[in-house]
Structure 1
Amino acid sequence: MNMLGLILTLLFGLIFLHGEVVEVEAWKKKSPSDITDLLSIQERLRELLPNAKRALVSIEAGDGAGSGVIVSKEGLVLTAAHVIGKTGKKMQVRLPNGKRASAISLGGSEISDAAMLQILGDEEWPFVPIANKGDSKVGNWCFGLGHPGGFDKERGVVVRIGKIIAKKDETMQTDSRLLGGDSGGPLFDFDGQLIAIHSRVSQKPDQNFHVPIESFHANWNTFKDENLISYDSMQDGGFFGVACEETEAGLIVREVISGTAAEKAGLKLNDILLEVNDEPLDSREEFIIIISSLKPGDEAKILYQRKEARLSVKANLGVRPSLVEE
């Protein structure tokens, strides 16, 4: 093959390869281009729904009701903390076909509104896959399931589609509309993965709030061991004195409160918190929990990053003035 022929072959090969690369699924585009994209999104939702719906449960807790989703064949259910109320609480769950089963609440967190319960018995249950930390992004398509108004076998599972509008710390915001009874229900991405749990409803269609799956990842063993992280339990704990924000770079200090242990230890704005007492920090919630588990006067070793340098400091925690951010 002469040089001209080789160049033309490579050129046509690149054009063909380029044509394959730029073809993006409709639900991965920033917005649908035409009716074909909308139909593709609809068809994708139809593909994902059967598996997602099988794992949805309606939770009947005696003094209230909500939704949840099964995430293991052993019957582990993720839901909202305000649905279970407390640990060790007996309740009933119902699957979409109306089948009932007994369950008991495990642990959770009032900070993020995340919680777990366990279906009792040796039966294997349908379940859904869980997304990894960071899989969900602002702008992604999503769909939510739930039982608004309570379980209704004739009506069936209610499905709403939308997009992620915002994601911050322990909260995700979407325009996938929520109603009373949806609390604790699942929010999925268009790979069929569980990305969040419904938390707070609003009258405004774009103000629907969910617990990101990251809150469960950060506290998985704590919740399974039947620990409930409550505001009351934190009130007697230690106080460091910083307000933090979760970012891709890490847990960034946004405010250092005057007169607190953090100020005395020399923490500054934009420092990145890495560890407390040799425990790595994966989330703002985890930082609050660790600090609150200590007592006023206890010494905490803080590892943090300032620009390119990693620094360590020991600080004696103060008394928590009120229920404020760390």
Structure 2
Amino acid sequence: MNYRFITSMLLMLFVSSAAPAQASLGIDYMRKIEGAFTQIAESVKPTVVSIRAERKKETIQQTPRSPHPNMPLFSSGSGVIIDPAGYILTNNHVVSNTRRLRVRLWDESAHWAKVVGTDRYTDLALIKINPHRKLPVAKFGDSDKVKVGQWSIAVGDPFGITRTFTVGVVSGMGRSGVGVARYEHFIQTDAAINRGNSGGPLVNIDGQVIGINTAIPAPGSGLGFAIPVNMAKDVIKYLRRSGNFPRGYLGVSIQPVSQDMAYLLGLSGAKGALVGSLLKDGPAEGAGIRMGDVIVRLGGTRVVDTAHLQRLVGWTPPGDAVAVEVVRNAQRKKFMVKLVRLPEQETANAKAQPSEIDEPETRKNYGVALENLTDELKEKGKLETDGGVYISDVEEGSRAYYDGLREGMVIRGLTYRLPGNGKTPIRVSIEKLEDVEALLKKIPAGANVLGQVVRGTDRGERTFFAVLHGFRR
């Protein structure tokens, strides 16, 4: 028997004997994971409650043909116990516009609950029951340390099925634009979250709460979002103390900075928040901030985008003075702004009514018809501005249309850059059509410009900025 044959036989024997051992090790490993999940379920479930809310009838649209129109309507949600005395954290949308709340604990005992405080801007609420005994309390983790790929476990009452436990991984961090709350910085998970999970905890592999489940994009989407627990910690203190969370307010409307905007404004990158409208005599206007400024720092913190600036301002107490750094004409300027309290009313988003014009004198530019602004057009468009050119028509599907221009808006200013002029932008105030024609003679054909656009609303004028791509035919 030769050496190669003996060697190959020994290798085959080793592999065949190692396979069962490897399988055994794999099963042991899976059992350890299984045991960890079981321990988490046993420790977390007693801290999770189900919430049954009777809705106020005036908040529900009913008709005489609705089945049982006089019967109360109910919704369900979840919550997590954060204090042995009966304080429970949940979502604002679970408890808002309700007549009565009934909380059921892990031992099936039921208790009436009262609302201690709510914060619709983060979709958080604090409620309380009187259990007549000390309750088990959830352990809080540190959501700032959560990373994509880590285990995440959602606990709650989806569809009224009590204390359901689903497992997944963290699939994203810092998500915004979901449309649930004003201040969004969500943890994204693929652990199954459904209706009724709202207000329940999202926990890590150590059984610590890292988030409060709040939203799903659509049923069966496989994605869910949770409010980071560190954000909730800040809100809880104020809800327990005063029933609300006082937030700072800068008095500006802001919009994201695109790469094209960054170039035209002389910025080094698409960071910060572009200032559109300012609250008249508000904190920002009073300090010297102007429309078209890009806020790049607040209180020493670099501003990433609009959502980041909203969080920074919203988490600064009213009355505090903060340093605000802006970029204006490619130059940095600093202002000290004393914040006021965020008002309750939301900014209007109404569209201006279109105006009917008889044979206007127009000049067509890349799919838009412009004319001089008259008193009649101002009145019809709910406008207050004294200058600018009125958009009387926008060709559907044109570049102007996709740049966001619509009939009834007014172009009040245009900003451009010339080759060889460094980063310094050139801003032109637009008063009449001749100003537009003069600008078009200065810039290369097909060049982009940044438009300062005004639209009328039921609550007054709103200004925004739009990159006008190739502002000529």
Aligned-CA RMSD value: 4.1
Provide the secondary structure at the position in 1 that maps to 2:276: coil
Task: State yes or no: 1:163 paired with 2:166.
Answer: no
Match of 1:187 among 182, 194, 202: 202
Contact 1:59 1:92 in 2 (8 A): yes
Residues of 2 paired with 1:97 and 1:315: CA distance?
Answer: 50
Give the whole-Å Cα distance in 1 for the aligned partners of 2:133 and 2:339: 50
Residue identity in the other structure for 1:100: A
Alpha-carbon distance between aligned partners in 2 of 1:70 and 1:241, rounded to the nearest angstrom:
37
Equivalence for 1:257: 275
**Structure 1 contact 265–314 (Cα < 8 Å) conserved:** no
Query: How far apart, in 2, do the equivalents of 1:134 and 1:310 lie?
Result: 31
Question: Aligned equivalents of 2:167 and 2:251: distance in 1?
Answer: 41
CA shift, 1:264, in A, is: 3.9
- Counting aligned pairs with the same residue, the percent is 20
For the Cα contact (< 8 Å) 2:324–2:337, is it kept in 1?
A: no
Q: CA deviation at 1:206?
A: 3.2
Would you say 1:107 and 2:117 are equivalent positions? yes
Task: Please give the alpha-carbon distance, in whole angstroms, between the structure 2 residues aligned to 1:163 and 1:311.
Answer: 42
Equivalent position SS for 1:219: helix
In structure 1, C-alpha distance between the alignment counterparts of 2:45 and 2:230, rounded to whole Å: 22
Q: Distance in 1 between matches of 2:124 and 2:194?
A: 18
Q: Distance in 2 between matches of 1:115 and 1:274?
A: 31
Change (3 A) 1:315 1:96: closer
Cα deviation for residue 215 of structure 1 reads 1.9
SS at match of 2:159: coil
**Pairing partner for 1:70 from 81, 87, 90:** 81
Is the Cα–Cα contact under 8 Å of residues 289 and 335 in structure 2 kept in the other structure? no
**For the residues of structure 2 that align with 1:316 and 1:103, how far apart are their CA atoms?**
35
1:207 pairs with 215, 218, 223, which one? 223
What does residue range 103-142 of structure 1 map to in structure 2 within 5 Å? 103-142=113-152
* One-letter amino acid of the counterpart of residue 86, structure 2: G
Tell me if the contact between 1:53 and 1:157 (Cα under 8 Å) persists in the aligned partners: yes
Q: Which amino acid aligns with 1:313?
A: M
Contact 1:218 1:283 (8 Å CA) reproduced: no
Q: Which runs of 5+ in 1 are unaligned?
A: 1-32, 245-251, 276-281, 295-299
* Aligned 1:86-97 pairs, distance under 5 A: 90-97=100-107
One-letter code of the match for 2:274?
V
Higher relative contact order (CA 8 A, sep 6+): 1
Tell me if the contact between 2:126 and 2:240 (Cα under 8 Å) persists in the aligned partners: yes
Q: TM-score, normalised by structure 1?
A: 0.67
Q: Judge conservation of contact 2:275–2:295 (CA < 8 Å) in 1.
A: no
Partner-residue secondary structure (3-state), 1:257? strand
**What number of residue pairs does the alignment pair up?**
264
* Larger of the two Rg values belongs to structure: 2
Mark the CA change 1:40 to 1:305 in structure 2 (over 3 Å): closer, same or farther: farther
Gaps of 5+ in 2: 1-24, 56-74, 175-183, 257-269, 279-283, 302-307, 327-331, 350-461, 463-473
The reply to whether residue 287 of structure 1 matches residue 313 of structure 2 is: yes
Partner residue of 1:47 out of 36, 39, 49: 39
Once the two structures are superposed, residues 56-103 of structure 1 have per-residue CA deviations (whole angstroms, 9 ceiling, x without a partner) of: 10011222211111112112111111011169x642211133111222
* 1:293-308 → structure 2 map (5 Å cutoff): 301-304=321-324
The whole-number CA distance in structure 2 between the counterparts of 1:188 and 1:52 is 8
Match of 2:329?
none
Measured in 1, the distance between the counterparts of 2:244 and 2:103 equals 21
- Contact kept, 8 Å, 2:143 with 2:211, in 1: the verdict is no
State the one-letter code of the partner of 1:106.
V
The answer (yes or no) to whether the contact 2:92–2:118 under 8 Å persists in 1 is yes
Q: Distance in 1 between matches of 2:88 and 2:29?
A: 34
CA contact (8 A) 2:149 2:171 kept: yes
8 Å Cα contact 2:299-2:322 kept in structure 1: yes
Kept in 2: contact 1:112–1:171 (CA 8 A): no
Q: Does 1:85 align with 2:88?
A: no
Cα 1:72/1:224, change in 2 over 3 Å: same
Q: Please, which of 337, 344, 357 is the counterpart of residue 314 of structure 1? A: 337
Report the Cα distance in structure 1 between the residues aligned to 2:300 and 2:78, rounded to whole angstroms: 35
Counterpart selection for 1:196 from 189, 198, 211: 211
Give the letter for the 1:123 counterpart. Answer: R
C-alpha distance in structure 2 between counterparts of 1:222 and 1:188, whole Å: 23
Distance 2:310 2:30 in 1: 37
One-letter code of the match for 2:205?
F
- 1:243: how far off? 5.9
Amino acid at match of 2:101: M
> How many Å apart are 1:162 and its aligned residue?
0.7
